[in-house]
């Protein structure tokens, strides 16, 4: 009995040593720890799953839209489920994002479907993504302007690395209604000498700004 126990412990130690060696090799090869790699691949998997839901929702929404006699201005994902056009499990983002169906009312077609967490796999999504990003920029600029007017201390400049604390401060004091996030994974920054203009690393700054 005693010997058996000893063997098990020895075995466990060996397994532990082997795992440590393997993960060290992976770390050295990728410059990332095994945990980061696992986390990243899980994130990639959920995004893939979400985007496959989006494609399904899009094609179902198109059918539903055609079947309706009166073209609505908006369609909710819930509606597709309730009317039997979409399986319930395809209506939920694995990361609890919210799906929105956009309709081109003028041209009468389902324009795009997107997720609040994972954006959209469609090319035409890029227009919407930029629009949402610029509306974030607008909100950030207004918030900073008002904050600097009302508070004793001015808000520090936005840089890629400290945005979270700046946005949290603006949000907690009620200058922002939500923490802004670019759905294209762009980062917001501004240069104080340039009139407090906020830019996105992916989308640049709203062109309307250059006109005034
Ligand atoms: Zn999603
Ligand atoms: Zn952006």
Residue 211 has pLDDT above 70, yes or no: no
* Residue 22 included in any domain: no
Which of 21-30, 85-94, 203-212 tops mean pLDDT?
Answer: 85-94
Give the model's pLDDT for residue 210. 47
CATH of the domain at 134: 3.30.1300.80
User: Which pair of structure tokens corresponds to residue 58?
Assistant: 């899009």
How far away, in angstroms, is 114 Cα from ligand 1 center? Answer: 8
- Starting from the CA of residue 199, give the closest ligand: 2
156 and 102 both lie in a single domain: no
Q: Does 206 have pLDDT greater than 80?
A: yes
Domain that holds residue 151: 125-211
Q: Could you tell me if 140 and 69 lie in one domain?
A: no
Task: Point out the domain boundary residue: 72, 92, 115.
Answer: 115
Q: Are residues 151 and 169 in the same domain?
A: yes
pLDDT (mean) for 157-162: 67
Place of tokens 């799953």: 49
Task: Please enumerate in sequence order all residues whose Cβ is within 8 A of that of 198, keeping only pairs 6 or more positions apart, or say none.
Answer: 137, 140, 141, 144, 158, 188, 189, 190, 205
Residue 157 has pLDDT above 80, yes or no: no
100 and 59 belong to one structural domain: yes
Instruction: Pick 29 or 10 by higher pLDDT.
Output: 10
Give the 3-state secondary structure of residue 1: coil
Q: In the prediction, which pLDDT does 190 show?
A: 79
Q: Please tell me whether residues 109 and 156 are part of one structural domain.
A: no
pLDDT at 49: 96
Residue that terminates a domain, selected from 74, 90, 115: 115
What confidence score (pLDDT) does residue 7 get?
A: 86
Pairing of strands 198-200, 99-104: unpaired
Answer yes or no: do 130 and 194 share one domain: yes
| Section 145-171 average pLDDT | 83
Shared-domain flag, residues 131 and 109:
no
Specify whether 164 is located in the same domain as 193. yes
101 & 172 share domain: no
pLDDT in tens, 184-204: 889 888 765 556 788 898 999
* 100 and 134 both lie in a single domain: no
Answer with the one of 75, 97, 115 that is the final residue of a domain.
Answer: 115
Number of domains in the chain: 2
User: 198 and 159 in one domain?
Assistant: yes
Structural domain contains residue 31? no
Q: How far is the CA of 151 from the centre of ligand 2 (A)?
A: 28
Measured from the alpha carbon of residue 43, the closest ligand is 1
Tens-place pLDDT, residues 75-120:
999 999 999 999 999 999 999 999 999 898 888 889 899 999 999 9
Write the ipTM.
0.83
pLDDT in tens, 43-77: 889 999 999 999 999 999 999 998 988 878 889 99
**Is 57 domain-assigned?**
yes
How many Å lie between the centroid of ligand 1 and the Cα of residue 128?
Answer: 16
Cα of 97 vs centre of ligand 1, distance in Å, is: 5
Predicted local distance difference test score (pLDDT) of residue 160: 59
């Amino acid at each position: 009995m005693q010997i058996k126990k000893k063997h098990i412990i020895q075995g466990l130690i060996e397994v532990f040593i082997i795992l440590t060696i393997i993960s060290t090799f992976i770390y050295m090869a990728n410059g990332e720890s095994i945990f980061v790699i696992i986390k990243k691949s899980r994130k990639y998997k959920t995004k893939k799953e979400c985007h496959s839901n989006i494609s399904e929702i899009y094609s179902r929404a198109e059918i539903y839209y055609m079947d309706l006699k009166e073209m609505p201005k908006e369609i909710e994902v819930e509606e597709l489920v309730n009317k039997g056009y979409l399986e319930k499990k395809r209506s939920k983002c694995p990361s609890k994002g919210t799906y929105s169906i956009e309709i081109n009312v003028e041209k009468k077609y389902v324009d795009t479907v997107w997720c609040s967490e994972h954006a959209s796999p469609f090319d035409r999504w890029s227009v919407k993504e930029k629009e949402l990003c610029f509306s974030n920029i607008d909100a950030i600029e207004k918030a900073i302007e008002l904050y600097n007017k009302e508070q004793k201390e001015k808000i520090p400049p936005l840089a890629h690395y400290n945005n979270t604390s700046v946005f949290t401060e603006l949000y907690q004091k009620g200058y922002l209604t939500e923490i802004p996030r670019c759905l294209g994974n762009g980062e917001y920054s501004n240069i104080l000498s340039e009139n407090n203009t906020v830019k996105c690393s992916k989308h640049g700054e709203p062109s309307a700004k250059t006109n005034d």
